[in-house]
Amino acid sequence: MALRAPEGTRDLLPDEQRFWTHFKQTAADIFGRYGYQPIETPLFEQTDLFVRGIGEATDVVSKEMFSAISGENLKRLLAGESIKAKSRLSLRPEGTAGVVRAVVQNDLVPQGAAPAKLMYAGPMFRAERPQKGRQRQFNQVGIECLGADEPTVDAEGIIMLMRFYEAIGIPVDRTRLLVNSMGCEKCRPAYRDAVKAYMDEHADELCEDCLRRSEINPLRAFDCKKEGCAAVMEGAPKISDYLCDDCRAHYDAVKRLLDLAGISYIEDSRLVRGLDYYTRTVFEVQVVEGMGSQNAIGGGGRYDKLTEEVGGRPTPGFGFALGYERCLLALQAAGMELPGRPPCDIFVASVDDSVREVSFRIVQAARDVGLTAELDHQHRSLKSQFKLADKLNAVLVMVLGPDELASGVVKVRNMQTHHERTVELKALRSLMERFLGARCDAAATGQLFDQK
Ligand code: AMP
């Protein structure tokens, strides 16, 4: 039986791969306007980074990480030996921990420096149960801003994310932006205790996972999808009643800046994002309909303590990640089709084998000029070479036979107008250069080749 891609992964075939490139480019264009610079970190890191950064009690770390192990270390483990901490590796389940590690390691935010604004795009890995919109390898685009705790950072981050969705074609009225503040190390402990006390009172109505969560991190229970737990957590204390003055002022300022930018949002005091590192602002963007339960297309927040967790000096941070595959599902639900392959500029058809070497040279010359060019590689008949040219959506087909070659010419057919003219081989290069110049303008291209 032929092997298939592992469960929870998908191939990005050429049409989709082109769209993914466009997706990343659009993000780079928009985020670049806000000062974000590209960074790329390894696909795997020391497991400890995720344990310390994301939190041991999170689903992502406790259940969903893929470990990566070298053959040598696997042998050691199987032989009952232990391996060094630095050899315990995991595929990255998210991008923030790796970027923060890179910022600390490379000292990208020296004392007194302007914040480091960084963006990344690439695959993340989580051993989740695959379903529509939930994969084990998926792509994220994300940003991190390290070194500033002002609410302007949070607000401009949320605004640029919403601008991105619009630019990629997800209408704002199909989305819902949820915001909340999770407080800080001063005010959150009292809130945590209040939630734990509330959960203890309702212990007999909660699932086993939530009972375990109530011991380690009670706030995780807000994420539980079980109906019974969700109903209980509806009545739990609200963080908004516990925020300290500084956190409240920060949260109010973020909301005011969003109001000024005309961004609508819903305050959701139960929005507690799945990772432990968040402080103050958290937010999530959901698609309103057509996506089932996996409707979150992006989210993030502030993490003012994370840098210290991974061994850096205190450096406030803010970031978000958006899911490429979920955005694509949202776009397809709204009727978008993936753009097809761009047309081939020139197809060179050979009448018989005696001219194939010259055809090969013409195609090569066209590519060197900067055009897309193709020829038959399978000894097809002239008729089926034309079929191939059609399939490739060729703009021009050049036909070369022994008679043309003997006269030093080639026939050039414009496939849109079906007009054909004879061009001298020695004039081909300058013709190709003019084609390249006029390529953006289909009418001009037609004219160029049809004129006598
Ligand atoms: P998170 O890092 O969990 O906040 O996820 C950020 C975004 O990545 C989500 O809003 C989703 O769009 C996307 N995402 C997260 N997990 C998955 C997954 N398993 N499969 C596909 N997309 C995902």
The answer to which of 268-282, 364-378, 433-447 has the lowest mean pLDDT is 433-447
Answer left, alpha or beta for residue 432, where phi above 0 means left and psi between -120 and 50 means alpha: alpha
The Cα–Cα gap between 206 and 199 comes to: 8
Q: What is the CATH number of domain 346-450?
A: 3.40.50.800
Q: Is the CB of 16 under 6 A from ligand 1?
A: no
Whole-number Å distance, alpha carbon 127 to ligand 1 midpoint, is 12
Residue in the block written with tokens 């957590």: 233
Q: 14-169+295-333 adopts what CATH topology?
A: BirA Bifunctional Protein; domain 2 (3.30.930)
Average pLDDT, the chain: 92
**447 pLDDT above the threshold of 80:** no
Tell me the average pLDDT across 233-251. 95
pLDDT digits (tens, 9 = 90+) for 74-98: 999 999 999 998 999 999 999 999 9
Task: Classify strands 175-181 and 266-267 as parallel, antiparallel or unpaired.
Answer: parallel
Whether the Cβ atoms of residue 222 and residue 214 lie closer than 8 Å to each other: no
pLDDT at residue 173 tops 60 = yes
| Spatial distance between the Cα atoms of 13 and 10, rounded to a whole number of angstroms | 9
Q: Is 325 in the pocket of ligand 1 (CB under 6 A)?
A: yes
Are 183 and 355 in contact by the 8 Å Cβ rule? The answer is: no
Residue closest by Cα to atom 20 of ligand 1 = 134
Q: What gap in Å lies between CA 298 and CA 287, rounded to an integer?
A: 10
Which of 124-128, 213-217, 351-355, 438-442 comes out lowest in average pLDDT? 438-442
How far is Cα 124 from Cα 97, in angstroms, rounded to an integer?
12
Q: Show the tokens assigned to 397.
A: 């087909």
Whether the pLDDT of residue 275 is over 70: the answer is: no
- Binned at pLDDT 50, 70 and 90, residue 278 comes out as confident
> Has residue 286 got a pLDDT over 90?
yes
Beta bridge partners of 349: 399
pLDDT of residue 451: 46
Atom 18, ligand 1: residue with shortest CA distance: 134
Pairing of strands 37-38, 116-125: parallel
* Boundaries of every domain in the chain: 14-169+295-333, 346-450
**Percent of the chain scoring above 90 in pLDDT:** 79
Is the Cβ atom of 323 under 6 angstroms away from ligand 1?
A: yes
> Could you tell which of 326, 327, 328, 329 is best to mutate to test the pocket of ligand 1, judged by most ligand atoms within 8 Å of the CB?
326
- Over the stretch 145-155, which tens digit does the pLDDT of each residue have? 999 999 999 99
Residue to mutate (ligand 1; options 134, 220, 273; most atoms within 8 A of CB): 134
Contact 317, 302 (CB under 8 A): yes
| Tokens (6 digits) for 356 | 């194939």
* pLDDT for position 290: 77
Rg of the chain (C-alpha set)? 29
**Across residues 238-252, what is the average pLDDT?**
96
